[in-house]
């Protein structure tokens, strides 16, 4: 077969092609020039192979250039076998090669795990950073995780449905990111903190089992386990009670972990009362792993239930202070229902501190990896929640009138949950930072990877939106 008729094959498949002519393409991972002979390690997404060039072949290649090589796969002599390499028993003897893209010297090293390089540089050159094997593994595992969830849910007759990104505020306890409207100047959309209200409206629409891989956008203080943007596996089911849905979710998590070969400490996820968790662990997120479990990368899941529905507003928290108009705000989700035995008291609105929400949080290795609840599906229950938070009838109508309307037009009882996919992956991959699980995360200071945002917009854009910026001081 000649060079021009041969199509590109993967590096890993070369193992079965001894004495064959092949065409490979990839990146020059490294180069060893021994005068008469030049060796490179060629890398594609399937692996690495040693290529041998004589008569000045390969000499002009620079590290991380993209090349196509053509030649014969030879078995290496016994003494030159490289046990560390999957293709260590073979090498490619180069007959011809072509540089597809020449690389200049790299601004960051991509050879090790990269954890010693400062974050700004790693994110500025994220496309290089992502070439390192640790991040390649993390993102491939994320794809598997998402697909395992998707497969399980589709098998169980869930319907995957998208909901809007430009919408009205849904309260999840953070500030909204807002987007000015050009057509209705002076008005704003909010980017969704979660699809909470839309998924409930899908229950009203008769989709009894919904899920979505939803991007959620929350303006909150950034931490290692939190970014402005994250991905939730968001789901909702009609006609469920709390034990049924918790049981369903436990089985879902077990199946997904099995699919990915992740070990679970105890498949009977222990269930703790919120108060019990506080007494026992001093927090509602805790780590049940033994030192041995930690070494083995085991995941230890537990449920926490019986959370108080309301808490006193923290005046220093701007989002809390603006969500609530009284001394009280919700602990998790204003759309939750109180547990059935507390509904009467909730409607009366006089024992606020005692009301327990039908909230269930899934904890894993010290982190909250999912949170959900049974929802209010009767208008008066949702109205009572907002009344407790100090909203007048008019303010209730303005904020959630559309939900109250839906709840008067045949909305079934329902409940759901959302898993923090990035966080779950962080634990599965044994990473300490959420950013290690995302392709293009923001810096700890909220700047985007590679591209320079947030950035100023032109005067024309501002004029079109009828906006003016009060201060021109640039934040860095």
Chain centre to alpha carbon of residue 327: 34
C-beta closer to ligand ASP: residue 289 or 414: 414
Min. distance of Cβ 326 from ligand ASP in angstroms? 22
Min. distance of Cβ 427 from ligand ASP in angstroms? 18
Inter-residue contact 106 to 122 (CB < 8 Å): no
Min. distance of Cβ 218 from ligand ASP in angstroms? 9
Q: Which residues contact 475 (CB under 8 A, 6 or more apart)?
A: none
Inter-residue contact 92 to 17 (CB < 8 Å): no
C-beta closer to ligand ASP: residue 122 or 218: 218
C-beta closer to ligand ASP: residue 53 or 420: 420
Main-chain dihedrals φ then ψ at residue 307, nearest 5 degrees: -80, 150
334 lies in the binding site for ligand ASP (CB under 6 A)? no
Min. distance of Cβ 216 from ligand ASP in angstroms? 6
- Contacts with ligand ASP by CB under 6 A: the residue count is 10
C-beta closer to ligand ASP: residue 359 or 449: 359
249 lies in the binding site for ligand ASP (CB under 6 A)? no
Q: How far apart are CA 9 and CA 73, in angstroms?
A: 12
C-beta closer to ligand ASP: residue 21 or 213: 213
Q: How far apart are CA 279 and CA 201, in angstroms?
A: 38
- Report the DSSP pairing between strands 90-101 and 47-54: parallel
Contacts 24+ apart (CB under 8 A), 396-404: 399/169, 400/197, 402/197, 402/201, 403/197, 403/200, 403/201, 403/335, 403/379, 404/379
Of the candidates 120, 114, 45, which has an alpha carbon nearest to the alpha carbon of residue 441? Answer: 120
C-beta closer to ligand ASP: residue 333 or 385: 333
Min. distance of Cβ 385 from ligand ASP in angstroms? 14
Distances, alpha carbon 399 to alpha carbons 18, 63, 334, 377, in Å = 69, 57, 12, 16
Main-chain dihedrals φ then ψ at residue 379, nearest 5 degrees: -55, -40
333 lies in the binding site for ligand ASP (CB under 6 A)? yes
C-beta closer to ligand ASP: residue 87 or 385: 385
Tell me which stretch binds ligand ASP (CB under 6 A): 2-10, 75-83, 282-290, 367-375: 367-375
Min. distance of Cβ 249 from ligand ASP in angstroms? 11
* Residues 125-154, interacting with ligand ASP (CB under 6 A): none
369 lies in the binding site for ligand ASP (CB under 6 A)? no
* Residues 181-200, interacting with ligand ASP (CB under 6 A): 194, 196
C-beta closer to ligand ASP: residue 3 or 402: 402
C-beta closer to ligand ASP: residue 172 or 431: 172
Q: How far apart are CA 467 and CA 184, in angstroms?
A: 12
Task: Say whether 39 sits in a helix, a strand or coil.
Answer: strand
Q: How far apart are CA 376 and CA 383, in angstroms?
A: 9
- Report the DSSP pairing between strands 188-190 and 209-217: unpaired
Tell me which stretch binds ligand ASP (CB under 6 A): 177-185, 370-378, 398-406, 449-457: 370-378
* Residues 402-421, interacting with ligand ASP (CB under 6 A): 416-418
Min. distance of Cβ 288 from ligand ASP in angstroms? 22
Q: How far apart are the first and last CA of the chain?
A: 58
172 lies in the binding site for ligand ASP (CB under 6 A)? yes
Q: Where are the alpha helices (DSSP H) in 108-177?
A: 119-124, 126-129, 133-155
C-beta closer to ligand ASP: residue 169 or 196: 196
Tokens representing residue 295 in the block: 């070494």
Inter-residue contact 214 to 193 (CB < 8 Å): no
Instruction: Return the HEC string of 3-18.
Output: CCCCCECCCHHHHHCC
C-beta closer to ligand ASP: residue 24 or 253: 253
C-beta closer to ligand ASP: residue 47 or 371: 371
371 lies in the binding site for ligand ASP (CB under 6 A)? yes
Question: Of these, 242, 373, 385, 449, which contacts ligand ASP (CB under 6 A)?
Answer: 373
Question: Of these, 192, 227, 338, 372, which contacts ligand ASP (CB under 6 A)?
Answer: 372
Chain centre to alpha carbon of residue 290: 27
Min. distance of Cβ 205 from ligand ASP in angstroms? 17
231 lies in the binding site for ligand ASP (CB under 6 A)? no
Min. distance of Cβ 298 from ligand ASP in angstroms? 26
List residues binding ligand ASP (CB under 6 A).
Answer: 172, 194, 196, 333, 371-373, 416-418
């Amino acid at each position: 077969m000649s060079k021009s008729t041969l199509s590109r094959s993967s590096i890993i498949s070369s193992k079965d092609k001894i004495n064959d002519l092949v065409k490979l393409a990839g990146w020059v991972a490294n180069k060893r020039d021994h005068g008469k002979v030049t060796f490179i390690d060629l890398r594609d997404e399937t692996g690495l192979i040693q290529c041998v060039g004589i008569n000045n072949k390969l000499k002009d290649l620079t590290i991380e250039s993209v090349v196509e090589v053509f030649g014969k796969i030879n078995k290496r002599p016994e003494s030159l076998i490289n046990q560390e390499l999957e293709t260590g028993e073979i090498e490619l003897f180069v007959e011809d090669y072509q540089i597809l893209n020449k690389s200049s010297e790299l601004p960051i090293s991509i050879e090790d795990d990269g954890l010693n390089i400062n974050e700004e540089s790693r994110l500025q050159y994220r496309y290089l950073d992502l070439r390192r094997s640790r991040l390649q593994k993390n993102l491939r595992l994320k794809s598997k995780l998402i697909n395992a969830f998707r497969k399980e849910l589709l098998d169980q007759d869930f319907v995957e449905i998208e909901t809007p990104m430009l919408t009205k505020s849904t309260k999840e306890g953070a500030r909204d990111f807002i987007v000015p409207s050009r057509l209705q100047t002076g008005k704003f959309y909010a980017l969704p903190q979660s699809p909470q209200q839309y998924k409930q409206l899908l229950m009203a629409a008769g989709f009894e089992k919904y899920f979505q891989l939803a991007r959620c956008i929350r303006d909150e203080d950034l931490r290692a386990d939190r970014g402005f943007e994250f991905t939730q596996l968001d789901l909702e089911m009609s006609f469920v009670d709390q034990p049924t849905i918790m049981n369903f979710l436990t089985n879902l998590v077990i199946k997904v972990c099995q699919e990915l070969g992740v070990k679970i400490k105890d498949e009977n996820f222990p269930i703790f009362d919120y108060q019990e968790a506080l007494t026992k662990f001093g927090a509602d997120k805790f780590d049940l792993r033994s030192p041995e479990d930690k070494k083995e990368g085991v995941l230890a899941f537990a449920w926490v239930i019986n959370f108080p529905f309301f808490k006193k507003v923290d005046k220093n928290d701007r989002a809390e202070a603006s969500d609530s108009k009284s001394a009280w705000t919700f602990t998790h989700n204003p759309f939750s229902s109180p547990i059935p035995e507390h509904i009467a008291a909730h409607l009366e609105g006089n024992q606020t501190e005692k009301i327990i929400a039908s909230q269930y949080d899934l904890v894993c290795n010290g982190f909250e990896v999912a949170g959900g609840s049974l929802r209010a599906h009767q208008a008066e229950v949702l109205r009572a929640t907002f009344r407790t938070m100090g909203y007048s009838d008019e303010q209730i109508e303005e904020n959630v009138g559309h939900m109250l309307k839906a709840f008067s037009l045949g909305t079934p009882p329902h409940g759901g949950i959302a898993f923090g996919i990035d966080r779950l992956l962080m634990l599965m991959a044994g990473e300490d930072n959420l950013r290690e699980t995302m392709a293009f995360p923001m810096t700890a200071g909220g700047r985007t990877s590679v591209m320079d945002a947030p950035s100023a917009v032109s005067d024309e854009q501002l004029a079109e939106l009828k906006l003016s910026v009060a201060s021109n001081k640039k934040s860095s």
